[in-house]
Each structure stands twice: as C-alpha cells, then as structure tokens.
Structure 1
Amino acid sequence: MIVQRVQPNTGAKEGKWVAATICAILLLSAATLPFHQSRNHEVTLETHQISISDITQSNLSLLAELKLAHEEIRDLYAEEQSWPSVTYLREEWVAPFVEDQSWHRNGQHHWEQHGNGLYIGLPQHNNGAGAMLLDASATLAKVWVNDHSPLSLDQVDETSLKRSGWRLIVNSKDLSSENEHHW
C-alpha cells in the first residue's frame, strides 16, 4: 500500500487574493472619489426674488395653499377653457379662496382676479401673510409676495411688480438644478 501525505487546504491563498482585491478596489475608489463629486453652484437671487427659505411662516403657509390652488385652477382651465373666478373657487372650496379657519389665520385676504390666470390677495389685517399674487397662467406656479404696503395694481406685469416692491418667491434648490443643466 502506498501512503501519500496530503496537506489540508485551508483556503489561505484564496483568502489572500480576495483580501488583496478588496484592498485594491478600496484604494482605487478612494483615489478617484474627489473626481466624482457634484459641484456646488452658488445661486444668486436677483433683487426682485426671495428664497422660499427666507419667507415668514405665515407666508409659507399661504404659499403652500397657493401651490395646491394652482393645480386646481390649471385643471379647471383645461376643462372649461376659461379661468375660474374667485367666486367659483370659493364655492368649490379651493383654499386659500374659501373663508375658513386658515383664511382667518393667514390674514383674511380679499382675493381678486386680474386678467388671465392672475389672482391677487390683499390681507385685511397685518397679523398674517403679506399680499400675494398667483400667476396661474404659467405651467409652474409663480407666486409674488409683498410684505410691506399692499398696493392695488393697475397693470399686473413683471416690470410693474418689481417697481412696486413685489418679490417673486423662488426655490433656490430648483435654481441650482437649473444651473447644473446649463453648463
């Protein structure tokens, strides 16, 4: 009988190769990580713009309602091919046009329709949100705010709004993502 001695396979060689491969992947990742970072673009707002993070809580509350109202107004416009009146929006219980608890808390705004898809709300007292203007004619809602003296506007266009002290509420995150796509 022939006896041959066989060494047990502990897997030490394979373990060393796996450990070396993992170390190589980690080193390569660590070396190339700085080259795959997103670039932070500093967003500068124009003088007639205000960041959503800089508006007051009461204005933010009314802004949220106006964003939802924008969707409702756009849907109603798509169905009827005419802009809904403030009275119709109030009858349909579309916030912030309906006079409910939120309406009282936000400043009891008196809403008027100015032209196609423009709705202006002037506060009846100073304890809530400032004067707001919703431009629903655009696909994305444009909301302007005036915290100072609510002005009645004869002509509602961007130039008149800027001159009268109105500020367009913008989300600086949206602006930075727009800038990333244009370079």
Structure 2
Amino acid sequence: MEFGATMKHYETGSDSVGQHQQFSSATVAIRAQKKIFSKIISRNNVKLFVDDATIRLFDHLYQVLKTTYNKMIAEKVVKNIIKLIVKLGVVMRNEQLTIEQQNQLAKIQRQMHQLCLTVISFGKVAFSYDYAYLNALLKETYRRLLPLIEQILSGKSKQRLDMIFEHLCKDSVLDSLFRADGQHWKLLPNVVMDLEVLIDREKL
C-alpha cells in the first residue's frame, strides 16, 4: 500500500476528546502523534514534531479563539492544526514527497517564515498592525498549502485546512490580539517570544 493511501486510511479516526476534560494543546499533540505513529512506523522511531514553544502558541491561540467563538470551536481549530502538522511531518520524515512537492513545501516554509516575521513586527512596533495585510498573508499561506494537502493527504485533511483558515482570518480574531484595545493584546508579547524561539531554532 502506498504511504499516501495509508495516511488517508488512518485519517478517518474520531476527533472526540472527553467533553469534561480541560483542553490541553500538549495532550492533543501527543495523542495525535501516538495515533499516527502507531499506524505508520515503529515506536522506536517516534520523535515529537511539536515542541514546547509551539504548544504554548497553540494555547495562546486557543484562548483567543475561545473568546471570539466558543470552547468547542477553539478546541477544534487547534486540534486540526496539530493533526495537519503531525501528518505532514510523517510524510516528510518518510521522504515520500516528489521533487515538485518538495518545491511546494519549500515555498510554504518561506511563506510561513514571512507570516511569522510579520506577526513579530506587529507585536514589536507600536501601531503597525494592518489587518488587510495580515489577512492577505494568511490567505496566501492557505493557497500554497491547499494543493499539497490535496495531493498527499485526504479530503478530511482538506476540510480541516478550510476550517482552520476560515476561523483564523476573521478580523475579530486578529483584532483581539493585535489591536492595543484588543481583549487579548497582553498575550501578544508571549506570542512574539515563542515565535522568535522557533525562528532561532530554525523551526520556522
């Protein structure tokens, strides 16, 4: 069985998490990785794709989304991001990408780097936040991710990608974090710090 087909086969599992449990990005990340790795590669080769700085970013995002939408949507968005990261990480680890797909991935990585540098700049330079510019960067990131996700993962992963960007691109979400009068503006320095850690580690 081809690896891509294997990935698609195992993406049909349940997304359910106990409704009475407190949401934890770290727990979701570990569960997603264990579930996928148990199907694809031996346990001796398991390595985490999601580090502490990334987990903290997910937790910040969860707080923003929970206020803007609700707890259920916030959990779903963060879980979908984690699952896509892990699934793409597995494909990359197993060197299953064609040359064209590797080129696509390189463009995505450059796009993500630019997006993160923009967030850092908005966080450090007072009154520099520009919703239209950031929204355009997010949409371009989606546009670059979409064909790769469609080629190597499943239709369900495409739905996850759609759901993520549908909720991230709303002005109410971004304004609450980047505007000085935003409800979550005080989280922004922490977001900037964690993004800088990832860039220093060459994770982004």
TM-score range relative to shorter protein: 0.3 to 0.5
Which structure exhibits the higher relative contact order, with contacts defined as CA atoms closer than 8 Å and separated by 6 or more residues? 2
Normalized per residue, the structure richer in strand is 1
TM-score by length of 2: 0.30
TM-score by length of 1: 0.33
